[in-house]
Amino acid sequence: MILLRSFCYTFRHSVTNRSIRSCHRFQHLSFRTLSSSGSMEETAITISSGGYSIQISAGPGLSTLDLRNAVDSSLFQQWLKNMQSEDSGLIGQGNMTLKNVLIQGVDMFGRGVGFLKFKADVIDNQTEQKIPGIVFSRGQSVAVLIILESRRERYAVLTEQARVPVGRNILELPAGMLGDKEYDIVGTAIREVEEETGISLNLTDMVNLTSLLESSTGCKLFPSPGGCDEEISLFLYRGSVKPQVIDELQGREMGLRELGELIKVHVVPYNKLWKMTADAKVLSAVALYEMGRKEGLIPSPHLGWLRGV
């Protein structure tokens, strides 16, 4: 089993064929480059603990710095932690073995790692068969189902953005990613809603919908676990607004232009929300909200007047 708290690694330079072996705590990985030229065709790190070791390699076109950033990122650390969890981890339960990891892509968002693409060689210990292990890693994100009441009618707030991966505009819940080594889920949700819609939410009125799930699930939504590690926390917010606020929100243009965000706000009748978009976050949030209400698990709303619209 790989232990995250401490391990030894060997960093090998393919040009000089020299290596350095050192022991570190996983949370504070550090690397030393053995060449000042910066030209490196292959880089690899061997992580070992208790006689068990895996090799983490950089794919073609990736530098020593890319490999360092990848392995040191919260994305990769969390993936390894999930793999070795004694409760649910593929390695931690003793059913499988992790042999090698090939880092294939590293996308930096500022100084932090935003996305990782890697391939893990995972072997089923009983059958000795290789398990599909291509991973697109983007980590944790949050989304908020905002329900506004006005003149006894309920409305939901959506955002419309161009989504290049699917080649079209999508109506979605206001949502955002947690940055590298960022852990404030509720704070991120509130910030993203304000950036994308201009609405300032009250922290005390937020309801964590994914917390209604059984604890064995991890209380997160996994929208595409066959290829992506994304974990989404879904929140609910309910408030009252005057009719003119609905009009002011409709069609509002928002987003951080410097980050390429071009967002249009839509306000739709809540009773039609479930069939107006194929966004998995919307459909999951509606299902959790409605089933939670049915089971009496959703607290009664304060329905205070929404501020900062």
Q: What domains are defined for the chain?
A: 7-137 (no CATH), 140-294 (3.90.79.10)
Residue 232's pLDDT band (cuts 50, 70, 90): very high
pLDDT at 86: 85
Minimal CA–CA distance to 103: which of 115, 95, 91, 93?
115
Contact 72, 27 (CB under 8 A): no
Q: What is the mean pLDDT of residues 236-246?
A: 94
**pLDDT higher than threshold 70 for residue 110:** yes
Q: What is the mean pLDDT of residues 116-134?
A: 95
pLDDT at 301: 80
| Span 148-192, pLDDT tens digits | 999 999 999 999 999 999 999 999 999 999 876 667 888 889 999
Model's pTM, two decimal places?
A: 0.82
| Span 256-281, pLDDT tens digits | 666 666 899 999 999 999 999 999 99
**Mean pLDDT for all residues in the chain:** 83
Query: What is the percentage of the chain residues whose pLDDT exceeds 90?
Result: 64
pLDDT at 221: 97
E strand intervals along 125-244: 130-131, 134-137, 140-150, 153-163, 168-172, 175-177, 207-208, 231-240
pLDDT at 305: 55
**pLDDT higher than threshold 70 for residue 12:** no
Question: Which residue's structure tokens are 């060689």?
Answer: 121
Q: What is the mean pLDDT of residues 64-70?
A: 93
Lowest mean pLDDT among 57-71, 122-136, 253-267: 253-267
Minimal CA–CA distance to 9: which of 73, 57, 59?
57
Please give the Cα distance from 33 to 196 (Å, whole number): 41
Please give the Cα distance from 114 to 73 (Å, whole number): 9
Q: Which residue has the higher pLDDT, 33 or 278?
A: 278
**Pairing mode, if any, of strands 96-109 and 52-58?**
parallel
Residue 46's pLDDT band (cuts 50, 70, 90): confident
Helix (H) / strand (E) containing 204: none
Minimal CA–CA distance to 245: which of 307, 161, 173, 160?
307
**pLDDT higher than threshold 50 for residue 61:** yes
Paired tokens of 224: 């595409």
pLDDT at 53: 81
**pLDDT higher than threshold 70 for residue 4:** no
Please give the Cα distance from 142 to 233 (Å, whole number): 5
DSSP string, 72-138: HSHHHHHHHHHHT-TTT-TTTTTSEEEEEEEEEEEEEETTEEEEEEEEEEEEETTT-PEEP-EEEE-
**pLDDT higher than threshold 60 for residue 42:** no
Q: Which residue has the higher pLDDT, 223 or 86?
A: 223
| Span 284-306, pLDDT tens digits | 999 999 999 999 999 988 655 55
3-state SS, residue 275 = helix
Paired tokens of 296: 């009496």
**pLDDT higher than threshold 60 for residue 30:** no
pLDDT at 98: 93
